[in-house]
Chain A
Amino acid sequence: MKKAFKDTDGYGIIANWMAEKGNTPFDFQLQTWESYANNYSGVVVAPTGFGKTFSVFLAVVIDYLNNPDSHKKGLKLLWISPLRSLAKDLAKAMTAAVEEIGLDWTIEVRNGDTSQKDRRRQERLMPDVLLTTPETVHILFSQKNNSKFFKHLKCVAVDEWHELLGSKRGVLTELAITRLLSLTKDLKIWGITATIGNLEEAQNVLIPYDGFKTKMIVAKEKKKIEIVTVLPDDIEVLPWAGHMGTKMVSKIIPIIYANQTTLIFTNTRNQSEMWYQMILNEAPDLAGQLAIHHGSIDFTLRNWIEDSISDGLLKAVVCTSSLDLGVDFKPVDCVIQIGSAKGIARFMQRAGRSGHSPYEVSKIYFIPTHSLELIEAAALKQAVKEKRIEAREPMVMTFDVMIQFMVSLAVGEGFDSKKLYEMILRTHAFQFMTKDDWHWAIQFITQGGNTLNAYEEFHKVIKDDDGLYKVKSRRISMLHRMNIGAIVSDAMLKVKFFSGGYVGMVEEYFISKMKIGDHFILAGRVLEIVNIKDMTVFVKRSKSKSARAPSWLGGRLPLSSYLSQYLRIKLAESLEPKTSEKELKFLHPLISQQEKHSHIPRLDEFLVELIETKDGFHLFMYPFEGRLVHEVMAALIAFRLSQIKPLTFTIAMNDYGFELLCDQEIPIDESNVEQLLSKENLMDDVIGSINASEMASRKFRDIAVISGLVVQSQPGNRKNNKSLQSSSGLIFRVLEDYEPQNLLLRQAYTEVFNQQLEEVRLKAAFERISHSKIIIKHAKSFTPLSFPIKVDSLRQSLTSEDLDSRIKRIKNEVLRSTQI
């Protein structure tokens, strides 16, 4: 069989073409081509830089060269990738390849940026290869007569599948594929992914269909990663988040100069703005060679920055996850990660942004922003060595996405209820959907809800005379097309110069707290607000020194559970570090301070600290489970404590632990601590301790937008459908009152439990604690572990100036008391 494939004309042509360029195919490419030729679908797992694109793309080309007659005119390969920017460059590379091979294929991109003219042309005759996004595929589905576009499709390829999996965009992709299967015969499905913890599952989610031969092809080639931790000059025995930053700037500058192009990753847009300013202050020479890139910066400006990186015009770019993915920038030879990357996969992915050629080493510098992050550096190193990478959990039963899909089809060609039900049931996401659920969904889009309550004048989707469900109103069709997709952004305002020129976007939430004449930083510039009108903030340049960097909501990612596990291991080992672990050795003064005045928890221990200060009685616990879980745990412990004695607490937390502060003594000691941390009645107590309805209402925001209950206004768009504006919170309330059985409401509660409360992780944490020895320590002042949590809580209520002096005061108190 193998010989036969290598004897084919198609393979010969490709092998020759590669040989002419001095290349030989990697094993995994060869395997993919051969599997494809043998009618397999599957998943290719390969690191970036090894030509994973060409594994699937050339497989289709070879198949065409071998069987030209079985391919008809029109679309042959549909390439779905999560990023628009990726498509442009991929299309270029693919076009170059087919031209050199001598194939008359057209390769085109279609997404939100495609011009009206090009779209109409594509609709008349589809190119041979179309590169697009999941959203655009669904927009295609909402057009009249769209099934003819896909009639002769041979392969659907999903690039960066690991990025889509685990999000609602992944569900959009699943739904797109199940529909494509109904439109064309013998479709092959291929996914391309980076290494993740659940590859098997990733493949099953992409290809759950009966009758498919599947194969997982894992590249042997590995990307080498070199991790360098940049140590500060001296150790802060009392660390606090963010503080070390200013001191570390001077350490970054030489790294920037020593490399050709450096990407500097920060975790939030806010941080990226701050670091951009700090680097420029420290090294004014870099002006013009330093850029800033994040999701709120004008699209064309971002494109310009990306092009400039490719052309080697920039020395460094401060960025956020906005550059995690995307085009391979050849000149980038160095990556700097500022602060915790919060996850192993993300850290490795960022590291991989440098040294893109095969076998080149990816170099990443880790800059801790407080001393404790040095433990994280040690944890990351070990995790990377052991290749323990987080899993991406696929989303299921996301009815908002399903409703959107149903309406898209109704806007397009219309659908038959029974056929569509069976089609959707075949996907991984909806395999457990019941007939009742489906019935509800049909009712929701045709009548608005329960028949008992009248939904007068609601005619979104209508069952037509031919038995198909269709949308007849042009207005509803138009509104729906505008709303297709699963990325819900906060209400954003455009930021424009008064004199003309577009700067970027800020969240409405941030601007709502500011007044005309206030200053803020965006895209590295200090701006003064002149006017706010039509979803646009008009600004002028300002020389003001004091300006706020916008804090975009949702910027704080919690620590991944894999990383937190390594963190606990490293902390436990930190008293006797291996000689190779310079981070832990460096941290020794802090560790010994913690051990002396409190305790360093070993792997089978759980530390509880009780500290009494002028502010009151503090209770600290250190589960190391990430911010979100701590938020829930803190509320839960407060709830259980208040059952012993009615008390009021102030809650604070970070990724390592949480604090409960009370003005009275907290009734906790060896006799009841196990009871307080018990896993019994866990979820009941959690529900008692939180306001689930409030949390669900927040989760409902995305659901309402995706399912079309809230019309998103387009920033700067004149037609912002003002009379249809309403908040998702309002709709949530109305539905809770009048339609409590609405599946979208239920979905919001489910999402609270899965994502906000991280039920699985929470249970696992309590399970672990129940097997641990609980150690209670009384300390006279803040310990190295508790101090960062304390500072984080101060930050919320104080301005930054007050904060500095306040922290200094607390530090002095601590140092005085520990010296005695």
Chain B
Amino acid sequence: MKILSILLMLILISSNVNAIAYCSLRDPVSQIAKLYPQKTNQLSIVKTVDDNTRAQVQIALPSNDLHFSELGQHTLYIAMLGKNALGYVHVRSEQSDWGLVEIVWAIDKNLRVSNFTFQRCRSPQNKKIAEGSDFKDIFIGKNYQELKQLLSNDGITANKYVLEKAQNAPELANVVLRCALKTLLLTEILWGDELKKL
């Protein structure tokens, strides 16, 4: 009876959850080390992406939505060198023609993209292009507002400038751009206050 009461109490204060069991959660340890080779540890901050957050994304980026797996609790990692923060790491998923793509974003303290790598990109051709410096240069060093200017009028595809730079991989450019925008936006919305205190 006591246990049932506790469960009922927990139901009343529960929020969005992730669909997978928590025992299968894995930190992107090797990717964080790749993006910040000098880091000594990482500091996790878990926040909830809920329907309110989703609505804010839809307002800021019309025609865009969060994938259902993006709702629930997610982690922002702060790459640490001793007691100093080197930058942030944020992993986000984006739907593509070849399945979900998971990108690990390195973000500097001014919330600009400093680098990125792929946790999952099951298209060898596209992954090869995406890991190239020409492609990465389209996004590196830019903040949310600067990236938003790379969108075309439909709000979901990249503009002519990006497509020319991304040669032969327009879908990849669209996916990476949308993912970058949502990542920086969510970092600001959910973790912004906390990051200012660091």
A binds B: no
Listed in ascending order, the chain A residues whose CB lies under 8 Å from chain B are none
